[in-house]
Chain A
């Protein structure tokens, strides 16, 4: 009996230590709720009702430029944007695979901008995509494919290894959002109402190689295959950003890839006039990303393409889904007014 009590006491102390360790990990990890909110977007999806017929996958060119709320209001399309900052193609593949565990959309829209990056680029951006992602086989694969030279897998498992120096930087946000989260997007769309007209851009440099790397094409092939296997229409797009330059050589490769694999490709920069984008007013950073007015125009235009070509349901006629969207639209309209 005495021995049992001793064992219980030891186990209790160990448990307390583990709890302290977990809490410290939680406290030191960035919350991405008030600052760098781009890091919170990946996790917002998990709490959503999974009723989306269209899923957008890609980098900042999707979460800044496509508003599911507009697409719902205009055409009754139920969609979600699973975009993250500088999402690389192997991350897009992982996110697509993860999404398919929750739901099978009719259409996956992939922004091809990231194909220009053949290797992992930056730990800071990796963290924005990966930190808040739920643990899964896909997350493990994504971390392994994404790590830059100085990164280690273990630091993703125990964030304290990476963020221990945040002790001195802890602020109100770290305590306020230690056990709760808030939504910063509307179905993955991050509202930005600032206006910064497009001005001078750097010179369009000669590149050493315009071919997409084998690694990128390998992951694009995987995305094509997984969509085919699940009877999903994969649609390739290039958002209408002025910079970084989307070279003709890039564009031609995508056209050829789309033809070869029987995919649709829309270069939306080529139709920017038709969409009505005014780069003096519709961008928040000089032409890299669209602001709210630009995203509204582009979403209106693209929702018509989706509706006309991919046999999508009008969810405004579906009582249960419509109820969810009407509540979101109320909040959205308030947010764009504020």
Chain B
């Protein structure tokens, strides 16, 4: 079966979703990311969805699950690059992506991960600001 590649970039994992995912592929990504977070002790996960033409409830749920699992494993997740039409549609669909942090692009997403990790470093044991 196809897999979505996961790259390691410093303390973060980087995923760029380039294909129209069927449900099993989305579930495989969830599993693979979980394994990799633990394997490399990743502190951040950046998911670039700029190539995705739609986010339906299943893909949305997968993104929310990944963010929750990552949080349990002490990593922050940022989803970047959502297209405007996708954002409009998501809201109308009724999907609010609970617990998922977003940034406009990969550069801002990486900056967000870095600042969240810095904030954590300054106040050990405390929740990063705004964590859901």
The answer to whether A and B interact is no
Q: Which residues of A contact B (CB under 8 A)?
A: none
Q: Which residues of B contact A (CB under 8 A)?
A: none
